[in-house]
Structure 1
Amino acid sequence: MLTTHPFDTPDEFGDKLREECGVFGVSGAEGAAALVALGLHALQHRGQEAAGITSWDGHNFHTHRAMGHVAGNFDRDEVIRALAGTVACGHVRYSTTGETALRNVQPLYAELANGGFAIAHNGNISNAMHLRRELIRRGSIFQSTSDTETIIHLVATSGYRDLLDRFIDALKQVEGAYSLICMTPEGMIACRDPLGIRPLVMGKLEDSYIFASETVALDVVGASYVRDVEPGELVIVKDGELRSIRPFTAIAPRPCIFEWVYFSRPDSIAQDRSVYTVRKGIGAELAIESPVEADLVIPVPDSGVPAAIGYAQQSGIPFELGIIRSHYVGRTFIQPSAEVRRLGVKLKHNANRALIQGKRIILVDDSIVRGTTSLKIVEMMREAGAAEVHMRIASPPTTHSCFYGVDTPERSKLLAAKHNVAQMAEFIKADSLAFVSIDGLYRALGEAKRGEVLPRYCDACFTGDYPTDLTDHDEQASSQLALLDHPA
């Protein structure tokens, strides 16, 4: 039987953290679905497994969901024409909860007592399984394995009469991260969890309101950025009128710090900061904290480019494109031999040999997860004749799993959870390895250092400081311990 290999995943080497989803919504625009399709194109990096759009024409909801990219599924006139209406929302997906299947592709839709209800979700509900078991016990019948469907059932079974009250009641029962765009006959609702872990921005296009995971999606449709949807805020749009409510107790926000490191596109603005500028700043901090004598600074494309520029500018070492990436290669098919798999890697990345030969180089990348990417890149540089290969990482060591909508391996598979930096350098076969410090990362974001009492961001993947309860994880751990104590 053929088995999968780390190289046979959608990213280059099966060794990248992946954001779970991206959402985009339009209220009050003719041809809303066409705008949503454009917005989803700009958010494709946030989810390449599946895409969906739901529209509302004032009488009926219309939905088209499909596996694969936005292109090919939503670039046909007949598909967009079938999504009639001036209100629409869409979703691009990676799966971190729920199987890879059409039934889990969002927006999810249900007929409730108050009418149709469609929901698109970016994030992860960390007590979804706990809630799901209770809902099933009470008679709920689930149609998907997605944590998002839990919210629909909580709305459906709420004791409140008004739909908005039912929705708020549902949200008060969930923990974790959520940025949601919901469509109902009573209007579009956009909201973020009280900690604001996952991003959501609001824009304006003439008389219509736009909501998106990133500002770059507003740019693509020609909308102007208005502001972020605030943590714990619900924004309701109906008939061109906008109102905002904050039904949750105010707490200090903890937005995901990895949005600036890797997830967001560099041409986006996050919390009034240029993502590109922040990433250059991280590279500069790296150069200050971990200098090394070398001839060239080389980014691991494409996510390492801004940090490498910052490192080069701060250190005075020339920046060069020593690795050339092909943008025309999709998923690497499963290969029967290790040698052929190794050659297949070069379909996506190839060393700029004439530049590298005999040089001492500094490779800059955004993160190390399992370590397989870094190992193969270092090997590639040595095969191209590099005299020395030093690795610099534009984030602290990833030591903990994420439970808020990021596809992170279990902790035992994270290289930094098991090894110190010297051991990691030996594993990837680099002459030296260094990560930006957690304080350096905060300095690049304009903070003096990480606050020991109230950090400004969710940085749990680096620190283990989770800002919410992790009910499902804790219950699973307790169950496993019980099995170990009382084996069958």
Structure 2
Amino acid sequence: MNLFSITKETLESDKPKDECAIFGIYNCEDAANFTYLGLYSQQHRGQESSGIVSSDGVHLYRYAGMGLVSNIFTESKMSELQGRNAIGHNRYSTTGASFLRNAQPLRVESHLGPISLAHNGNLVNSWDLRNRMEREGSIFQTTIDSEVIVHLMAKCKEENILDALGLALREIKGAYSLLILTPRYLIAVRDPNGFRPLVMGKRTDGSVVFASETCAFDITDTNYIRDVEPGEMVVVDHTGLKSYYPFQEAKPSLCIFEYIYFARPDSYIFNESVYKVRKQLGKQLARELPVEADVVIPVPDSANIAALGYSEESGIPYENGLIRSHYIGRTFIEPDQKIRDFGAKIKYNVVREVVDGKRVVIVDDSIMRGTTSRKIIKMLRLAGAKEVHMRISAPPTVSPCYYGIDIPTHKELIAATHTLDEIKKYLRVESIAYLTVDSMHKAVAEHKGGGFCDACFTANYPVEFGSQDQGNQKSLFQEYAVEES
């Protein structure tokens, strides 16, 4: 029998793809186990592969695999990850294909000793640098942009790993939150624009912890201290913790889409609660784009909090009109597609009692291609919805992202290629409305001042593409050290 498959990627095609998650811990008796927990709690940021590298102060031990954290790390594999220090990574590929050889953290040997690196973000000049180094004789083992960093470090003549890292990072451009593990150091770095989040905490046993989001702190009993600042390098070793600012200052460009879609609502990123910001976006949507209706429902799960904000501000009751399945694997069906809109139905199901005979406001955080939204609205109609009004708690997505979010190309984005009226007709709704860029910033500014990257909504990219001029950098870490308790 001829079969074809519907994968999770197919079902998620109307959403931007997840980024990556990083986690690191220094001087903890169960370092690898805590790293496992930190990665498990950040699984939403990447589901293609996961890896952990640990250190006993002499050697680095690595294990990585394809798939989910809970399926990769068996008890026997965890027992091989020795030592009191560890870093881990969950991957969704933005640069480089989905193969095991591209799983992070990377581990390399060099004249600086063994180095392991975990990267969240995307480098916009990595191919220029890679091509240059390949012509000079470098041999790359992966196709990911992160490997450029360790090659730049290895080619550096500096004997001090901190200076080598600083010089390497001076050559790259783009978004990076990094964790680097050596037998001596755990190093956390955030790019000067601060695109991707990176938080720092401490456990009661004195161990220092880093993660992409604070939800990883909750599961590991870690007390949040602060964010790693844009352009900051935090170095932890047996003597304690030091902070450096070795890079030229840049305008903050925090990814606003983290608040809208990516981060878990129970996390704090960029020094603010994701839950509060997401709810405020929904309230702003209701104030500026009201509609007479009987019920407000979200597209679960990322729009749940924005829909709650819309409901509270508008006074329209909030209900769970769509139920999402969280157990989507690979499903095989016959090619005549006897079940219409099967791809949407396997992920969502409508609660008929909530929508039947009702004027429905359906709140979502974004629309990429519009294909899944159209199918969901059709399902609401078949369940008896009298009217459907769509509200988006963000501006129209009109541009791809080059800083670590896998947003479709310009020609695939429905808002970039169609008018609002055309989108309304395509989705078959009574009305559709988005927040404006100014309204989005107004909502977020109630919790955090400006300095956000909104390039996916405006095409105003804060970091230009292409090779970066090399400067003369020497002894970076003898001048900028700041002791911390």
TM range (shorter): over 0.9
Q: For residue 147 of structure 1, what is the amino acid of its counterpart?
A: D
Give deviations 1:118-139, integer Å, cap 9, x for gaps. 0000000000100000000110
Q: How does 1:211-230 map to 2 (within 5 A)?
A: 211-230=210-229
| Paired position in structure 1 for 2:276 | 277
- For the pair 1:152 / 2:147, whether they are aligned, the reply is no
Whether 1:463 aligns to 2:458 is yes
Deviation for aligned residue 1:315: 0.5
**Cα deviation code 1:430-452 (max 9, x no counterpart):** 111001111221122125999xx
Contact 1:297 1:318 in 2 (8 A): yes
Q: Which moved more, 1:21-30 or 1:153-162?
A: 153-162
Q: Partner residue of 2:166?
A: 168
Aligned-partner Cα distance in 2 for 1:441–1:422: 21
Q: C-alpha separation between the residues in 1 aligned to 2:406 and 2:331? A: 20
3-state SS in 2 of match to 1:307? helix
Taking structure 1 as reference, are residues 434 and 281 closer, same or farther at Cα in structure 2, changes over 3 Å only? same
Match of 2:13 in 1: 14
Q: Is the 8 A contact 1:10 1:331 kept in 2?
A: no
Alpha-carbon distance, 1:3 to partner = 10
Q: Give yes or no for contact 1:27–1:240 (8 Å, CA) kept in 2.
A: no
CA-to-aligned-CA distance 1:222-260 (integer Å, 9 cap, x gap):
000000000000000001500010001222211100000
Cα deviation code 1:319-351 (max 9, x no counterpart): 011111122333444752344462353222111
**Relative to structure 1, is the Cα distance of residues 51 and 414 closer, same or farther in structure 2, using a 3 angstrom cutoff?**
same
For 1:344 and 1:291, locate their aligned partners in 2 and report how far apart those are by CA, in whole Å: 31
Which ranges in structure 2 are unaligned for 5 or more consecutive residues?
A: 468-485
Per-residue CA deviation, residues 328-381 of structure 1 (Å, 9 max, x unaligned), is 333444752344462353222111112211110000011000111211111110
Kindly indicate whether the alpha-carbon contact (under 8 Å) linking 1:124 and 1:405 is maintained by their aligned counterparts in 2: yes
2:89 is aligned, of 91, 113, 117, to 91
Helix, strand or coil for the counterpart of 1:404?
coil
- Report the Cα offset of residue 10 of structure 1: 3.4
Q: TM-score, normalised by structure 1?
A: 0.92
Q: Deviations over 1:134-180 (max 9, x none)?
A: 00011000000000001110111113221111111110000000000
Distance 1:303 1:185, change over 3 A: same
Q: Is the 8 A contact 2:4 2:335 kept in 1?
A: no
Equivalent residues of 1:332, 1:344 under 8 A apart: no
Identity %: 48
Counterparts of 1:2 and 1:30, CA distance in 2? 53
1:73-472 paired onto structure 2 within 5 Å: 73-74=72-73, 76-206=74-204, 207-239=206-238, 241-333=240-332, 336-340=335-339, 342-446=341-445, 456-471=451-466
Query: CA contact under 8 A between 2:400 and 2:410: conserved in structure 1?
Result: yes
After superposition, the Cα gap between the structure-2 partners of 1:341 and 1:117, relative to the gap in structure 1 and judged at 3 Å, is farther
Distance (whole Å) between structure 1 residues aligned to residue 336 and residue 81 of structure 2? 46
In 2, the alpha carbon distance for the partners of 1:4 and 1:456 equals: 46
Helix, strand or coil at the partner of 1:172: helix
Change (3 A) 1:351 1:128: same
Give the residue type in structure 1 aligned to 2:79: R
1:402-425 deviation line (CA, Å, top 9, x unaligned): 000111111111111111211111
Shift in Å, 1:471: 2.0
Structure 1, residues 278-308: CA drift from partner, whole Å, max 9, x if none?
1111011111111111100011111111000
Whether contact under 8 Å (2:8, 2:328) holds in the other structure is no
Decide whether aligned partners of structure 1 residues 145 and 3 sit closer, same or farther in structure 2, where only a CA change above 3 A counts: farther
Shift of 1:262: 0.5
CA contact 1:397–1:416 (8 Å) conserved in 2? yes
CA contact 1:186–1:238 (8 Å) conserved in 2: yes
Q: Is the 8 A contact 1:10 1:330 kept in 2?
A: no
Q: 1:203 to 1:365 in 2, by over 3 A?
A: same
Task: Give the conservation status (yes or no) of the 8 Å contact 1:52–1:65.
Answer: yes
Aligned to 1:480: none
2-structure distance, mates of 1:377, 1:270: 31
RMSD of aligned Cα (Å)? 1.9
Q: Please say if 1:37 is aligned against 2:36.
A: yes
SS in 2 for 1:115: coil
Letter matched to residue 330 of structure 1: G
Instruction: Please name the residue that 1:479 is paired with.
Output: none
* SS across alignment from 1:18: coil
Q: Distance in 2 between matches of 1:155 and 1:448?
A: 39
| 1:460 counterpart letter in structure 2 | A
CA contact (8 A) 1:8 1:334 kept: no
Rounded to whole Å, the distance in 2 between the matches of 1:400 and 1:267 is: 28
One-letter amino acid matched to 1:101: F
Contact 2:42 2:216 in 1 (8 A): yes
Report SS of the residue matched to 1:445.
Answer: helix
Aligned residues: 466
Aligned-residue offset at 1:95: 0.8
Instruction: Indicate conservation of the 8 Å contact 1:261/1:366, yes or no.
Output: yes
Cα 1:448–1:114 change in 2 (3 A) is closer
**Distance in 2 (alpha carbons) for counterparts of 1:448 and 1:235:** 26
Q: Supply the distance in 2 between the matched residues of 1:333 and 1:51 (Cα, whole angstroms).
A: 26
Query: 3-state DSSP class of the match of 1:354?
Result: helix
Per-residue CA deviations over 1:452-478 (Å, capped at 9, x if unaligned) read xxx510000001110101228xxxxxx
- Report deviation, 1:116: 0.2
Question: 1:39: how far off?
Answer: 0.2
User: Contact 1:99–1:145 at 8 Å: present in 2 too?
Assistant: yes
CA distance in structure 2 between the partners assigned to 1:173 and 1:102 by the alignment: 27
Shift of 1:38: 0.1
> Match of 2:472?
none
Distance 1:461 1:320 in 2: 30
Secondary structure of the 2:252 match is: coil
Give the letter aligned to residue 392 of structure 2.
I
Tell me how far apart the structure 2 counterparts of residues 433 and 410 of structure 1 sit (CA, whole Å). Answer: 22
C-alpha contact 2:56 2:183 (8 A) present in aligned 1: no
